[in-house]
Amino acid sequence: MNALRLLRRHVSNSWATLSLFQFLVLIRSLLGGTGFMLVVPALQTMHLPMDTRDPELQFLLSLLPVSTISGILVLFLGLLISMNAISYYNSILEEQIEQDLIASVRKEIFRLTLGAEWQHVSGIHRADYTRIQTEEVDAVSGLLRYSMEITTVLATLLVYTLLCLYLSTSVTLLAIGFAAFLLLVTYPLHQKIIESGTKHLAASEELYRRTSEQLHGIRVIKSNQSEEQQNDVFVSTVDNLGREEKRYTQLSALTRLLNGTIAAMFFCLLAWVSINVLQTDAATLVVIAIIFSRTLPLVANLQTLSQRFAFMIPSLEEVTNYIWSLETHQEAEQSIDQRIELNRPITFDEVSYRYPGSDERVLKDLSLTLDPKSLILVSGPSGIGKTTLADMIAGLILPQEGKILSGEETLNPSNQRAWRGNITYVPQVPFLIDASVRENLCLLLDYPVSDEKLETALKSASASFVFHLTGGLDTRIGEDGSRLSAGERQRLLLARALLQDRPVLILDESLSNLDPETEQAFMQTLAALKTSRTIILISHKTYLAETADQVIVID
């Protein structure tokens, strides 16, 4: 039900287009039915014996506006042109609806991810996010496309069935019974295809993760001579995905084989019953035979479409569950105009925090005060909770016990965004995109910055190396800054932090890869900046306490 609501919500903006599509599908089906009725008068004009004693057939033929072969051919040509024109226009409408759905789902996923709690988002695998935004959303659009194609086939089958019912109820009921029997026979295969789709989804997830992790850890893999081992794991993953693709193809081919064989047997049986048992006249039999000859491929196509639809159902469930998980972990609604000024001491009052799934509290009854407009060093052994402390100061996570205050303001779900508006946070993991130095420096700013300001920030962060790059500020730095050294990446991040000019600056191990000379120069920059902002430096380097105004040791 959640999956259906998801589709309905994202197609709601295209209801008018979808309704027009369905209307044109019905019109095209009616035109196709009319085309079948031209067969008998066409044969009669060629002086072929066509017995039309059937009153229903005589009535339908009397509705045709022409009786000469020329008129029939002109009418037939008009029907074909009209049907092709409708097919052309419907293809455009179908693509429009499909692309609107893709854009709508991707935008919602991106928006919800940005608005979700940091604790929840940090647990999402980057490869999974990429896969869902690309492959799985495409699969959801495929579901919509197949559903529209199924609608087209069903509408055509409905028109053909009604026409056959009018001409010969008994023959048509036999055909309907056959269709029901065919669905019953192939139902187990349908269920196996859904199972195959689930396994294919899991294999695809593993492939995306392996591919992402390979590039991320290629340096470690090569330095440890683990290429062969990693290659074996990747080959196994690819083979697993290939097996599921082949299994789906085998199941689909088996269904087509059953459909074709049973349909051929039934068609012969139906012809024999119509001639020898039901005594159907020749004209009616010809029309019904032609209709059935068109109907049987439609039934087979319906089976194929329904199988493809079933194969992609797990993808729809995956996207639905992902969106639902984001919706249930959204941060509280906050006013855009809300403002908080963090120009007073930041106080932790008996703060405790435990990560989900852990029995131990990473912070327990922590009480401290961070003085404003000062350089504060936070140190302590690894895993003691320094980064958790930084995340709390930045307003990314909230204490489970105790409270965090700045003057009269208490950090809570209703003012998290406003609180974060005062913070510039440089975490341990660098956030750099595959773009130019200029674009990375301005990435978090919503206003233009002159080259002079960029150069000033780079000099303050001891990042003058940028001026010696081939393209200067326009030099591309690769994904995650891969074309720069670790120290250069950190200096670039520090320069970006200085451009934001917010009251509180948090640097989490941001000096760890700097050489002593660069580190000393940057500490001098921080000492000059502390007159206008609070600087919180998290580091293992205890000797930095000599420069700090306040030292906090977590143990």
Would you state the pLDDT for residue 193? Answer: 80
Would you state the pLDDT for residue 453? Answer: 92
Answer yes or no: is 7 within a domain: no
Would you state the pLDDT for residue 404? Answer: 92
Answer yes or no: is 332 within a domain: no
Answer yes or no: is 376 within a domain: yes
My answer on whether 391 and 427 are in the same domain is: yes
Answer yes or no: is 318 within a domain: yes
In sequence order, the β-bridge partners of residue 409 are 406
CA nearest 241: which of 206, 215, 213? Answer: 206
Answer yes or no: is 8 within a domain: no
User: Is the model's pLDDT at 48 over the cut of 50?
Assistant: no
My answer on whether 86 and 220 are in the same domain is: yes
Least confident of 37-51, 194-208, 346-360, 489-503: 37-51
Q: Tally the domains of the chain.
A: 2
Query: Please, which pLDDT band fits residue 438 given cuts at 50, 70 and 90?
Result: very high
Residues of the domain holding 132: 15-324
User: Is the model's pLDDT at 55 over the cut of 60?
Assistant: no
My answer on whether 42 and 130 are in the same domain is: yes
Q: How far apart are CA 494 and CA 496, in angstroms?
A: 5
Q: Summarize pLDDT for 479-490 with one digit per residue, the tens.
A: 888 888 888 888
Answer yes or no: is 288 within a domain: yes
Report yes or no: 418 and 499 within 8 Å, Cβ to Cβ: no
My answer on whether 479 and 525 are in the same domain is: yes
Q: How many CA atoms lie within 13 A of 286 on its CB side?
A: 19
> Which token pair is 522?
């940057």
Q: How far apart are CA 174 and CA 456, in angstroms?
A: 85
My answer on whether 356 and 298 are in the same domain is: no
Q: Summarize pLDDT for 207-245 with one digit per residue, the tens.
A: 888 877 777 777 767 766 777 887 888 888 888 888 888
Q: Summarize pLDDT for 97-136 with one digit per residue, the tens.
A: 888 888 888 899 999 998 888 888 888 888 888 888 888 8
Answer yes or no: is 135 within a domain: yes
Average pLDDT over residues 404-422: 87
The CATH number given to whatever domain includes residue 281 is 1.20.1560.10
My answer on whether 354 and 297 are in the same domain is: no
- Report residue 481 CA to chain centroid gap: 26
The residue out of 324, 354, 389 marking a domain boundary is 324
Q: What's the whole-number average pLDDT of the chain?
A: 80
In sequence order, the β-bridge partners of residue 352 are 401
The CATH number given to whatever domain includes residue 487 is 3.40.50.300
Predicted model pTM: 0.77
My answer on whether 388 and 258 are in the same domain is: no
In percent, how much of the chain has pLDDT > 90? 5
